[in-house]
Amino acid sequence: MIDLLATQIALPDLITFLIAGCAVILGALGVILMRNPVHSALSMVMTLFAIAVLFIEQDAQFLAAVQVIVYAGAIVVLFLFVIMLLGVDKKEYLGKDQLRGQRPLAFLSVLVIFVEIMALSRGNWVSGAKGTVLSTSSPLSNVEQLARSIFTTYLLPFEATSVLLIIAVVGAVVLVRRSDVKSSPAEEPEELQTESEMK
Amino acid sequence: MGSDPLFSHGVTLAVILIVLVKVVVAFAVLLVSVLLMIWFERKVLSDMQNRIGPNRAGPFGILQTLADGMKLFFKEDLIPESADRAVFKLAPYLSVVPAFLIFAIVPVGGVIHIFGHTTELQVADPPMGILFLLVMSSISVYGITLAGWGSGSKYPLLGSVRATAQMVSYEAAMGLSIAAVVLISGSLSTRDIVTSQVGTFLGFIPKWNLIRLGVVPFVIFLVAVTAEMNRPPFDLVEAESELVGGFHTEYSSLRFALFFLAEFMNTVTMSAVIVTLFFGGASGPVLFGPGWIWPILWFLIKTGVFLYFYVWVRAALPRLRYDQLMTLGWKVLIPASLAWFLIIAGMQVSSYLGFGIFVLVLILGWLLSRASEIGGLSDQFRHSRGRSAGTKGVK
């Protein structure tokens, strides 16, 4: 089968894809199977990093960099920060469900999301365009092509997203700073998390 | 594969060999420079503190680091009982590897011709360029965070919690000042950033980004980078007067040596990055003799100045308090870098717009600082009222 694939794709690309793909799947399994929350978070870093490698293999250099800087560098670090600060880094007992029927419902919702993704990836009514393919033969670099597409064709969605993030930040700050709420140790990390979203 | 002319005629065996040689040479030079840097730091510090410093091993004690390294190598490798073994072992490598890799994107010289091939004197010139620095510094956060958590001990955990907050906060300011450099250079590639700084104003002022951007982004970058690599006065991560040794309290032997190596290697690479971004990197006038050697010499001289600067700062400045550190990061550096970024963007369009934005930024900055002052006062008021009424929980 590998011979068959190798005729379609260049061998270095194939090797990179296989290694990174395995790392993605192993990391994803680790996130749900590890008992310790910190180990789960680290598996997630592995998945995110391997996805960045896949991006580089696709010549999407900017996406790869942003993937690591934002997800691995800010978001998962803050997960870890909260886990460490709240001291929930204990192994959890997974024998019994917290809510009755939790697991079947979880499987059901995963199924629904899976079907939804499949449906959305076929249509184009969300963004109005069926994906923007950047050409690799263009004289402009990947970063320039991406910037042109974001700041011309998709300027409105881009700005709307930034406004959305600011609303989230302001909302979180307002919630945290209500004077009638008893202060709890969770206050600090929550504040930090919202600040990182600004990036 | 980036813009290195080496790859323009396809990848042959000779090309792979040249790349390998570059990697090995960069690795060796970086290691030797770390050895010298540790010796240099101890020697200069002792001069500033009116003592002799290392003077036993080799001439002027120059082999002291080697001796210390040997000693660490033969020490017992302890793993605490309450440690998370896998994470504890992983952490030092997560610290060291990014420190090495950042150096790969630093141009240390011009373009040379070797065995019929043309190549740039830098290990890699990827299109993502300077973003690689941010990628690697966001990975190196994990080294310190996990070292503290994995030790399963109180002080390391405190140190690593501090480290996480500090490094994540200052990364934002660092990224924004890099964005200013990228804006004016028009490219992410470190090689292009250096070549865009070649030339002079009025014939004698070098066209460095330091001058072209105004000094503000440089100062922000310098402070943010110092905080990012936990050098004094931002070394709260390992504040020995409060936290024993901080995140590496439980580490011994070779694993401790790796953290030590990473810290000093970061100092060397970050000095090189500062030179690349703001001081023209490996560019400068060719005075006499072969033309290819002068860029390397200029690069070494400029980097050396910053190495001395870091030692000097360590000797001269007291450590910040934690709240001062956070105030500086979030309330001064990030707004300042954002505002300066706006001004530079305005200047790119026209100088009228630039000065207009400058005035606007001044007014808004004044309003903002006034608002935060009033907010702080009302906070204090609420705090004192809450305390006198005997209720807890009011911030």
Question: Which pLDDT tens digit goes with each residue over B201-211?
Answer: 777 777 888 87
Helix axes B85-102, B253-278, angle to 10 degrees: 30
pLDDT at A25 over 60: yes
The answer to ipTM > 0.85 is no
- What is the predicted pLDDT for the residue at A170? 92
- Is B135 in contact with A69 (Cβ distance < 8 A)? yes
- What is the predicted pLDDT for the residue at B395? 40
Q: Is A43 within 8 Å of A31 (Cβ atoms)?
A: yes
* Neighbour count for residue A21 (Cβ, 10 Å): 14
Q: In whole angstroms, what is the distance from residue B313 CA to residue B325 CA?
A: 16
A to B CB pairs, distance under 8 Å = 90
- What is the predicted pLDDT for the residue at A75? 87
pLDDT at A82 over 90: no
Helix axes A37-57, A11-33, angle to 10 degrees: 160
Q: In whole angstroms, what is the distance from residue B327 CA to residue B173 CA?
A: 13
pLDDT at A179 over 70: no
Q: Is B243 within 8 Å of B148 (Cβ atoms)?
A: no
Q: In whole angstroms, what is the distance from residue B199 CA to residue A18 CA?
A: 47
pLDDT at A99 over 70: yes
Kindly list the residues from chain B whose CB atom is less than 8 angstroms away from the CB atom of residue A66.
131
- Is A85 in contact with B161 (Cβ distance < 8 A)? yes
pLDDT at A113 over 90: yes
Find, in chain A, the residue whose alpha carbon is nearest to that of B188: A143
Identify the top-confidence range among B119-123, B158-162, B181-185, B186-190. Answer: B181-185
- What is the predicted pLDDT for the residue at A50? 92
Q: In whole angstroms, what is the distance from residue A160 CA to residue A45 CA?
A: 28
- Is B142 in contact with A45 (Cβ distance < 8 A)? yes
Q: Which of A81, A179, A198 sits opposite B161 (nearest CB)?
A: A81
pLDDT at A148 over 90: no
CA angle B238, B243, B247 (to 5 degrees): 45
Q: How many residues belong to chain A? A: 199
- Is A61 in contact with B139 (Cβ distance < 8 A)? no
Q: B393: pLDDT confidence band, cut at 50, 70 and 90?
A: very low
Q: To which residue do tokens 């330091």 refer?
A: B210
Please give the average per-residue pLDDT across A99-120, as a whole number. Answer: 87
- What is the predicted pLDDT for the residue at A6? 53
Q: A186: pLDDT confidence band, cut at 50, 70 and 90?
A: very low
Q: In whole angstroms, what is the distance from residue B206 CA to residue B187 CA?
A: 20
pLDDT at A123 over 80: no
Q: To which residue do tokens 């990473």 refer?
A: B262
Q: In whole angstroms, what is the distance from residue B148 CA to residue B88 CA?
A: 8
Where exactly are the structural domains of chain B?
A: 78-116+128-349
- Is B168 in contact with A143 (Cβ distance < 8 A)? no
Average pLDDT, chain B: 83
Q: Closest Cα to residue B269, out of B238, B239, B237, B228?
A: B228
Q: To which residue do tokens 């309003």 refer?
A: B367
Please give the average per-residue pLDDT across A68-85, as a whole number. Answer: 84
Average pLDDT, chain A: 77
pTM of the model: 0.83
* Six-digit token string for B285: 């006038």
The answer to whether B165 contacts chain A (CB < 8 Å) is: yes
The answer to whether B149 contacts chain A (CB < 8 Å) is: yes
Q: How far is B86 from chain A (nearest CA, A)?
A: 10
- Is B175 in contact with A199 (Cβ distance < 8 A)? yes
* Six-digit token string for A107: 């499987």
- Residue B274 or B236, more confident: B274
Kindly list the residues from chain A whose CB atom is less than 8 angstroms away from the CB atom of residue B330.
195
Per-residue model confidence as pLDDT tens digits over B24-73: 988 998 888 888 898 888 888 888 888 888 888 878 888 888 888 888 88
Find, in chain B, the residue whose alpha carbon is nearest to that of A62: B128
Rg of chain B (C-alpha set): 23
- Residue B16 or B381, more confident: B16
Q: Which of A74, A80, A179 sits opposite B145 (nearest CB)?
A: A80
Find, in chain A, the residue whose alpha carbon is nearest to that of B132: A65
Q: Closest Cα to residue A156, out of A124, A177, A128, A186?
A: A128
Q: A87: pLDDT confidence band, cut at 50, 70 and 90?
A: low
- What is the predicted pLDDT for the residue at B390? 46
Q: Which of B142, B157, B393 sits opposite A182 (nearest CB)?
A: B393
Segment (H or E) for A151: none
Please give the average per-residue pLDDT across A32-36, as a whole number. Answer: 83
Q: Is B226 within 8 Å of B328 (Cβ atoms)?
A: no
Q: Which residues, at least 6 apart from A42, have a Cβ–Cβ distance to it below 8 Å?
A: A30, B87, B146
Find, in chain B, the residue whose alpha carbon is nearest to that of A74: B168
Kindly list the residues from chain B whose CB atom is less than 8 angstroms away from the CB atom of residue A69.
131, 134-135, 138, 175
Q: How far is B351 from chain A (nearest CA, A)?
A: 23
Q: In whole angstroms, what is the distance from residue B43 CA to residue B51 CA?
A: 9
Q: Which of A39, A81, A187 sits opposite B165 (nearest CB)?
A: A81
Kindly list the residues from chain B whose CB atom is less than 8 angstroms away from the CB atom of residue A81.
145, 161, 164-165, 168
pLDDT at A198 over 60: no
- Residue B181 or B128, more confident: B181
Q: How far is B204 from chain A (nearest CA, A)?
A: 34
* b (16+ CB within 10 A) / e for A151-187: eeebeeeeeeeeeeeeeebeebeeebeeeeeeeeeee
Please give the average per-residue pLDDT across B105-115, as a whole number. Answer: 79
Kindly list the residues from chain A whose CB atom is less than 8 angstroms away from the CB atom of residue B137.
73
Ramachandran angles phi, psi of B278, nearest 5°: -120, -15
Q: How far is B18 from chain A (nearest CA, A)?
A: 19
- Residue B237 or A83, more confident: A83
Q: Is B65 within 8 Å of B261 (Cβ atoms)?
A: no
pLDDT at B301 over 50: yes
The answer to whether B142 contacts chain A (CB < 8 Å) is: yes
Q: Is B217 within 8 Å of B337 (Cβ atoms)?
A: yes
Q: In whole angstroms, what is the distance from residue B174 CA to residue B337 CA?
A: 9
Q: In whole angstroms, what is the distance from residue A84 CA to residue B309 CA?
A: 35
DSSP string, B148-198: HHHTTSHHHHHHHHHHHHHHHHHHHHHHHHHHHHHHHHT-S-HHHHHHTT-
Per-residue model confidence as pLDDT tens digits over B358-371: 889 889 888 888 88
Mutation test of the interface with chain B: which of A11, A34, A39, A42, choosing the one with the most B Cβ atoms within 10 A? A42
- Is B168 in contact with A73 (Cβ distance < 8 A)? yes
pLDDT at A74 over 70: yes
Ordered by where they begin, the domains of chain A are: 1-92 (1.20.120.1200)
* Six-digit token string for B14: 């000779």
Per-residue model confidence as pLDDT tens digits over A37-61: 888 888 999 999 999 999 888 878 8
pLDDT at B280 over 50: yes
Q: What percent of chain B lies above the pLDDT cut of 70?
A: 93
For residue B381, the SS3 value is: helix
Ramachandran angles phi, psi of B100, nearest 5°: -65, -45
- What is the predicted pLDDT for the residue at A147? 83
